[in-house]
Chain A
Amino acid sequence: MNQLTRAIDSWFGRGEASITIPPMDGAFRPNDHLDLAASNLEAPAPDCLAVTTQGVIVSSDRSLLRVDKPHGAEIASFDMAISALTGLPDGGAAVGLVDGRIVFVGGERGGTTLAKNPDIACITALTPASDGALLVANGSATNGPAAWKRDLMEKNASGSVWRIDRQGRASCLAGDLAYPYGLLEDAGSLVVSESWRCALTRISSSADGRKEPVLENLPAYPSRLSRADDMTIWLALFAPRSQLVEFVLSENGYRARMIREIDADYWVAPCLRSGLTPLEPTQQGGVKQLGVLKPWSPSRSYGLVARLDPAFRPTASLHSRANGRRHGVTSCLMVDKRLFFAAKGDGIVASRTYEGLAS
């Protein structure tokens, strides 16, 4: 009966097969708060933010840069691009590289490197555990961090979360995750942002790694998580969901051919910055105003940071709308009542005070 219902729903495009996206309303009501933030640094593809003894730092391609210095004074550089970064309790930082190595910078373990683990080839997020171990999000078992778009279009759920102790021993905490892109320890368990499920998932600390939803049906694809001093949680969402992409995700033949024949930059897929070339796909649409149908095309990129209460309920959000210049936010961090965010799509790290902002 279930299969029959599913087949009927699929035919009518309803139920689980309905091609819909959640509205950006309530706590996700659009505003221009990200665009109004002061720019701290312009750098190529700034990705992940962290706090160390050197202040707020950001990963940008192969370099670690200081956010508070003009032109971003370089702290360290690597032979490979950086895919994840976290600050450590000792003031140092752990850096995940695209080839799977983890390098420590500063702090007690500064200068050491954890060798590549064949099971962890796509490091998307790092966070220190309370017992001194390092928690690692492995986005995909088959694609590297740069091929995230392919991972989405292949509808993979092959990501995993790992715990690497101080001796370098890795143990898998949970698997079958749809691109884990953010990690946060919470009350003895671990909360993971699963990008392709557009949800936050709690992974229990028990041996079975039981998963339960924390926040579902987000209007955009979530990435990194961080906690502020006041215990509120900040979530970066790197691209908006759209009905067109949801539709393409439901069309297997079309998608397979698109992956096979078209350059990934021009796929019908979310992206960190759209509107740069006329070769990009455009969704035709229209809005009727005063009886006149005006052409309109939803943007494939967007800037969004959400503030969650300690129970992971959205309470407010900051946006860079379709016409904004702070798209593709992959990381955000609250430091001394100032919210820093890295808009990877537009190559900007910016910050603003948060207190008193209306959602």
Chain B
Amino acid sequence: MTEPPLPDNPQPPETPLLEMRKVSKEYRGVAALKTIDFQLRRGEVHAIVGENGAGKSTLVKILSGVVAPSAGEIRLAGERIQIAGPAFARRYGIAMVYQETSLVPSLTVAQNLYLGDEKFYNRLRGTYIEAQQFLQSLNFPVDPTATVQSLGTAKRQMVEIARAVRLNAKVIIFDEPTATLTPEEKHHLFTLIDRLRKEKVSIIFISHALEEALDISDRITVLRDGAHIVTADAKTFSRETLIRHMVGRSLSDELYGRPRDNSRVRPPGDKVLSVQNLSMQNVVRNTSFSIFAGQVTGVFGLVGSGRTETARIIAGVVKRDLFHGGDVRLNGKSVRYRTPRDAVVDGIVYVTEDRKGDGFFETMSVAENVYMGQISSANSHGAVVSMGEMKALAAEWTNKLNIKTLNSDARVIELSGGNQQKVVIAKALVQAPKLIIFDEPTRGVDVGAIAEIHNMIGSLADQGLAVVVISSYLPEILSLSDRILVSRQGRVVEELSPEEATSEAVMFAAVH
């Protein structure tokens, strides 16, 4: 394949540097981006905001060549281009600075800067001098001889940015650059972005922190459910209008049914779980909340808000901090699980968000997967496997959860997303939980199965179980929950009743 030529014909000033026209992207029939039009001007900072799943990541992945669009065209300085891979993006001058940097930790800063661009004979001293001069020209206080693993997050980002600038990037994409930065580091980053803007480098800035988007960007684009909602000057937005654009819905409301009927809110039963001052590094920070029997407690939060990690600590999947990591009380008794099985035996079951990775054994049959749940429960007969029991169990749960499969010997991988999820749920329910935590229960699930899963979750609460639903999708939280907890920066920051929980109120709590 020949190297794509870089368009260098002079353009009138109004021609956007980078343009996406009617770009769509589908993953196995599910639309992640729907005929998006997007323009990036020369020397502007353009923020892209939206909820989780709005399509921000897909958009920038297309621009950085990680995925190919299903339809539409991309133009650079007016010329149509094909970004067939990350290398092509780099040659076009499009660089991506990831939240988790893509540097090699064991190499030095200088080696990382010139990675993939080494000469036949590399003189390390010369590389260091060159890197030093280059970093100084950018005013980055980074030692080129330091290994990347010894650097803090901000300095790693500086190296990543320096690499982008060294490759003559005309467009730099920042994906959640401030999520792990201290205020001072953030200030440095914003100064740098400002300088790049002055040097006519165009910046795409993705952030959940709306204040940052409003502060630093010239224009803001709002995406929702994979569709372009609005693009306008940052000055024309306020935090409230941005939130309104982000959460206003049409399709999702239809998908998830109408909002909760507030007259049918389930009253709380006994306090089943009390999480007190739970901490795990800087991911879960001194969080406290309670879970009650006979209710669906919805936990909403943006990616990185520590919801999943908190649930995984409760379920014994990961461990809290060794020193003063807080307390988890199940029915008033302090518990600390070394393995998930200990939690299962006590009646706590966690239904993972990553069903393919952690939820089922894809080469095993439906029956075997359901039986695996039984084996790890308190009702297990140890190492004795009863084929009869396995078949009976599979038949019972296939019927109860309406799992659509030819027979219980079918491999789980052959089922649709919704039915796979039902198998994961069956595997959890067979363990007779008292507290069940669903993490993103309908992610990647077909529309028909969503309603079935929601009904099943509601009926579990009706039976008196304590049910927790973690979701990044507001309509799901609003339609299911009898009580809503909002998580931000590693802790539960707000509790709302269904009457108070408007989309705006929940989102406001999640981003402030």
Contact = CB atoms under 8 A, between A and B. Distances in A.
Contact of A20 (B268, B270, B277, B323): B277
Interface string B466-509: 00000000000000000101000100100101010000000000
A216 interface: yes
Nearest to A288: B489
Contact of A29 (B209, B322, B495): B495
Interface string A1-42: 000000000001111101111110111010000000000000
B102 interface: no
B282 to A, nearest CB: 10
A353 interface: no
Contact of B276 (A23, A26, A291, A293): A23
Contacts of B277: 18-21, 243
Interface residues of B, number: 37
Nearest to B287: A23
Given A291-B186, A313-B270, A14 B495 contact: no
Given A25-B290, A26-B292, A14 B274 contact: no
B280 to A, nearest CB: 13
A202 to B, nearest CB: 15
A53 B327 CA distance: 49
A291 B209 contact: yes
A289 B183 CA distance: 10
B53 interface: no
Which applies to chain A's interface (DSSP): helix, strand, loop or mixed?
A: loop
A187 interface: no
Which of B268, B324, B326, B497: most chain A Cβ within 10 A?
B324
Contacts of B483: 26
A13 B277 CA distance: 12
Contacts of B270: 313
A217 interface: yes
Interface string B326-342: 11010010101000000
Given A29-B495, A289-B512, A18 B324 contact: yes
A14 B290 contact: no
B276 A21 contact: yes
Contacts of B181: 291
Nearest to B335: A15
Contacts of B332: 213, 216-217
A50 B281 CA distance: 51
Nearest to A13: B324
B289 interface: yes
A289 B509 CA distance: 11
A20 B336 CA distance: 14
Contacts of A292: 183
Contacts of B275: 23
Which of B211, B270, B485, B495: most chain A Cβ within 10 A?
B495
B43 interface: no
Interface string A307-344: 00000010000000000000000000000000000000
A22 B271 CA distance: 11
A276 interface: no
A198 B270 CA distance: 18
A345 to B, nearest CB: 24
Interface string A274-293: 00000000000000111111
A25 B497 contact: no
Interface in B438-478: none
A207 interface: no
A20 B327 contact: yes
Contact of A18 (B276, B292, B492, B512): B276
Contacts of A313: 270
Contact of A23 (B290, B489, B497): B290
B329 A15 contact: no
B112 interface: no
Contacts of A26: 268, 271, 290, 292, 483, 495
A251 B215 CA distance: 47
Contact of A12 (B274, B292, B322, B499): B322
Given A18-B276, A18-B326, A20-B277, A293 B289 contact: no
A262 interface: no
B178 A291 contact: yes
Contacts of B178: 291
Contacts of B186: 291
A25 B276 contact: no
B329 A217 contact: yes
Interface in B279-294: 288-290, 292
B170 to A, nearest CB: 29
Nearest to A18: B327
B257 interface: no
A20 B288 CA distance: 9
A289 to B, nearest CB: 7
A17 to B, nearest CB: 10
A21 B209 CA distance: 30
B325 interface: yes
A289 B512 CA distance: 7
Contacts of A13: 323-325
B289 A23 contact: yes
A213 B332 CA distance: 11
A357 interface: no
Interface in B311-327: 322-327
Contact of A217 (B183, B274, B324): B274
A23 B278 CA distance: 11
Which of A22, A288, A313: most chain B Cβ within 10 A?
A22
Which of A21, A289, A290: most chain B Cβ within 10 A?
A290
Contact of B290 (A22, A216, A358): A22
A14 B336 contact: yes
Given A20-B277, A217-B332, A27 B268 contact: yes
A292 B209 CA distance: 12
A243 B324 CA distance: 11
B299 to A, nearest CB: 12
B289 A14 contact: no
Nearest to A213: B332
A80 to B, nearest CB: 40
Interface string B236-279: 00000000000000000000000000000000101100111100
B292 to A, nearest CB: 6
Interface in A201-218: 213, 216-217
Given A13-B323, A15-B334, A18-B276, 11 more contacts: A12-B324, A13-B325, A18-B324, A18-B326, A22-B274, A22-B290, A23-B492, A213-B332, A290-B211, A291-B182, A313-B270
Interface of A: 12-16, 18-23, 25-27, 29, 213, 216-217, 243, 288-293, 313, 358
29 contacts: A13-B323, A15-B334, A16-B334, A18-B276, A18-B325, A20-B288, A20-B326, A21-B276, A21-B277, A22-B288, A23-B276, A25-B289, A25-B290, A25-B485, A26-B268, A26-B483, A27-B268, A29-B495, A216-B332, A217-B274, A217-B329, A243-B277, A288-B489, A290-B512, A292-B183, A293-B183, A313-B270, A358-B497, A358-B499
The 4 closest A-B pairs by CB, nearest first: A20-B276, A23-B288, A13-B324, A20-B277
